[in-house]
């Protein structure tokens, strides 16, 4: 089972990787950490005190973000929110930062455009203020923005800040960049209007209480919600949808270029069929035709299994033509009545 650079880096930052080299690297990163933490704290104070300008768009903005680098399961939540806004009669647009590929469109933009076709405009631009204005110029019917990965993008005013915390790796090993995965100190949680615990089914009740207690030290009032990410089925090579049982009797190779492959890896054991190999690539990895050919030719495998995000990156490769590439369909499942409660808060922020 191959690992990505992210996985290897996490082993160093978490302390799992032992040895003199790893210890020295952690020491170097720890020496740089106070400078980053101080800079982020100063930046946040500048926004809090209106020293740095905050720009408003003429439509409500709902931000979905997080405190840590790496995957928190944010993209499925953005999809969920955009669809629920559509069902409520709104015409949303999703604003992405966007990590450009050679073809000029980001992975997330391609995936979300497919997933939200007929429901939401999807626009990728590093300057989200300019991006929102561009959307309104081209799509004036837009009446609400969903700001993807927006918690630290403070120059754009938002009417609601939803912060996601991954229960399997909640606080970036207790350190900000570069020693840990926190993008800013935990005090930043105080800005959140609501907090959504993701992958809540993958930790014990005791660990869940510890996470909630740590959150409450920085934000006493924001309501806490919880969800998990579950496989809803598979999308076959011909584009049709099928239940997970379609994997029964199959021998498949799983590949993915995502920030947190361990979350996907933990769910593989529950799939029908037999996983003969896994290969993890870095987040935003640009696949080559040779890599896809190598995966396709794995001995004993009759299906390649990937995420929707990876599919948009490999579908145009020559090796994808006729290849048995199936995609896992992911959906957000909330605990108890949390979906209704959270959606009510978000919709109330959109009302004039």
**pLDDT, tens only, 252-265:** 999 998 877 777 88
pLDDT tens digits for 198-224? 999 999 999 999 999 999 999 999 999
Topology match between the domains 61-229+333-350 and 234-330? yes
The pLDDT value recorded for residue 263 is 76
Q: Say yes or no: domain 234-330 is CATH 3.90.930.
A: no
pLDDT tens digits for 72-122? 789 999 999 999 999 999 999 999 987 655 456 777 898 999 999 999 999
- The vertex-183 CA angle with 182 and 186, nearest 5°, equals 60
Q: How many CA atoms lie within 13 A of 191 on its CB side?
A: 26
Between CA 121 and CA 62 the distance in angstroms is 15
Contact criterion met (CB below 8 Å) for 149 and 77: no
Between CA 186 and CA 283 the distance in angstroms is 24
Q: How far is CA 30 from the centre of its chain?
A: 26
pLDDT tens digits for 176-190? 999 999 999 999 999
**Residue labelled with tokens 């907090």:** 195
The pLDDT value recorded for residue 1 is 47
Percent of the chain with pLDDT over 90: 77
Which residue, among 170, 168, 180, 171, has the nearest Cα to 13 in the 3D structure? 180
The pLDDT value recorded for residue 4 is 60
Tell the burial category of 249 from Cβ atoms under 10 Å away from its Cβ (0-12, 13-18, 19+). exposed
pTM: 0.92
Domain ranges of the chain: 61-229+333-350, 234-330
| CATH class label, 61-229+333-350 | alpha beta
Instruction: Show Cβ contacts of residue 37 under 8 Å, excluding neighbours closer than 6 positions.
Output: 176, 185
Contact criterion met (CB below 8 Å) for 77 and 283: no
User: Higher pLDDT residue, 4 or 149?
Assistant: 149
């Amino acid at each position: 089972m191959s690992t990505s650079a992210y996985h290897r880096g996490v082993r160093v930052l978490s302390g799992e990787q032992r040895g003199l080299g790893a210890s020295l690297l952690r020491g170097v990163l720890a020496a740089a950490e106070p400078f980053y933490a101080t800079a982020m704290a100063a930046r946040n104070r500048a926004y809090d005190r209106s020293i740095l300008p905050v720009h408003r768009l003429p439509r409500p903005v709902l931000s979905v973000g997080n405190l840590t680098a790496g995957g928190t399961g944010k993209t499925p939540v953005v999809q969920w929110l955009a669809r629920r806004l559509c069902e409520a009669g709104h015409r949303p647009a999703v604003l992405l930062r966007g990590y450009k590929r050679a073809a000029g469109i980001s992975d997330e933009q391609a995936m979300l455009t497919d997933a939200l076709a007929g429901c939401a405009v999807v626009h990728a631009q590093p300057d989200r203020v300019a991006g929102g204005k561009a959307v309104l110029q081209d799509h004036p019917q837009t009446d609400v923005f969903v700001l993807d990965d927006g918690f630290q993008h403070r120059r754009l005013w938002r009417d609601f800040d939803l912060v996601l915390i991954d229960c399997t790796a909640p606080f970036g090993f207790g350190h900000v960049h570069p020693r840990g995965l926190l993008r800013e100190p935990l005090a930043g949680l105080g800005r959140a209007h609501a907090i959504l615990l993701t992958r809540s089914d993958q930790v014990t009740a005791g660990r869940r209480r510890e996470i909630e207690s740590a959150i409450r030290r920085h934000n006493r009032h924001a309501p806490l919600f919880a969800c998990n990410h579950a496989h809803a089925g598979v999308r076959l090579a011909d584009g049709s949808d099928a239940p997970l049982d379609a994997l029964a009797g199959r021998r498949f190779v799983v590949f993915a270029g995502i920030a947190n492959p361990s979350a996907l890896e933990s769910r593989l054991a529950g799939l029908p069929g037999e996983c003969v190999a896994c290969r993890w690539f870095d987040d935003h990895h640009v696949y080559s035709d040779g890599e896809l050919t190598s995966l396709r030719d794995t001995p004993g495998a009759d299906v390649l299994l990937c995420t929707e995000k990876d599919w948009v990156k490999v579908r145009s490769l020559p090796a994808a033509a006729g290849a048995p590439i199936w995609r896992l369909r992911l959906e957000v499942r909330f605990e108890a009545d949390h979906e209704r409660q959270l959606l009510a808060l978000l919709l109330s922020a959109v009302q004039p």
